[in-house]
Structure 1
Amino acid sequence: MDLETGGQHKFKFASLQGNFGQNFLKKHHLPTEDFDTVYFIKNEKHYSKLSAIAEIGKTLGGVYYFFALAHLLPDIISNPIYNLIAENRKKIAGESCMLITPEERKQFLS
């Protein structure tokens, strides 16, 4: 995945195990040792699991806006779907990891 979209850096990234991630988890009273989800922060509000993916799609726009449709699903349905995809992500996407450039590294928070 290209970290740059449309010529603009739209996102910053942080590991949940790092300082920023741990502070975020504590601030929002979220588990500090469970790293099985994705969080997205926008306008001081945080989203998790499929809601995060939906909000990311909405923010990116274009073909990614399709993921915004996930907001139509209640959490009782969307969370198991997210968990199923997360558990099988290596089968879906493969084992490869992307190597980031020094320029992309600037988008990561500690």
Structure 2
Amino acid sequence: MREDASLPAGAVIVFDGTCVLCNGWVRFLLRHDRRGRYRFAAMQGSSGRALLAAHGLDPEDPASFLLVDAQGMRTDTAAIVRVLVGLGGLWRLALLARVLPRGLGDAGYRFLARRRKRWFGSTACTVPSPEQRERFLD
């Protein structure tokens, strides 16, 4: 990834702020990311929309999970595995997911992503605590 002053420092996860499952993922990461490695941008916000568009993803059709870090961008299962490995400890076992063909993992991810709101519901964005607020872009 090229250096760009408009990109925030550190790894950024773009998530669907109105999805119960996605908000649960963010709460999971806030609890387990003790080093504060990850920052978050709801795809409904200006930063999230800009990151999706900058990486060729349609902000109007948010079916992908996006991770942007110093090594570039990743989506879907590759992004999830990288995030879990980045948590360290036993979470590094997520590397075992690489034994699955990526196409199969991504197909499963997209199957769930397209149905996530129907199955898990919709909600308002996660409201971070004052100490977590700096980890959210907007």
Normalising by structure 2, what TM-score?
Answer: 0.63
1:27 corresponding residue in structure 2: 54
How has the CA–CA distance of structure 1 residues 61 and 71 changed in structure 2, closer, same or farther, with 3 Å as cutoff? same
Letter of the 1:19 counterpart: S
Equivalent residue runs for 1:8-87 within 5 Å: 8-86=35-113, 87=115
Alpha carbons 1:14, 1:108 under 8 Å: kept:
yes
Post-superposition Cα deviations, 1:7-42, rounded to whole Å, max 9, x if no partner, equal: 421110001121111111221222121122211112
Alpha carbons 2:47, 2:137 under 8 Å: kept:
yes
Alpha carbons 1:53, 1:68 under 8 Å: kept:
no
Deviation at 1:55, TM superposition (A): 0.5
Distance (whole Å) between structure 2 residues aligned to residue 13 and residue 90 of structure 1 = 23
Post-superposition Cα deviations, 1:46-92, rounded to whole Å, max 9, x if no partner, equal: 1111111010012112121122223343332111121244435886x
Alpha carbons 1:51, 1:70 under 8 Å: kept:
no
Distance (whole Å) between structure 1 residues aligned to residue 104 and residue 89 of structure 2 = 25
Alpha carbons 2:52, 2:66 under 8 Å: kept:
no
- Specify which structure has the bigger relative contact order, considering alpha-carbon pairs within 8 angstroms and separated by 6 or more residues: 2
SS of residue matched to 2:78: helix
Structure 2 regions of 5+ residues with no counterpart? 1-27
Q: What RMSD over aligned residues (CA atoms) do the two structures have, in Å?
A: 2.8
1:107 corresponding residue in structure 2: 135
Taking only the aligned residue pairs, the percentage that are identical comes to 26
Letter of the 2:132 counterpart: E
How many corresponding residue pairs?
A: 109
2:23 corresponding residue in structure 1: none
Moved more, 71-80 or 27-36: 71-80
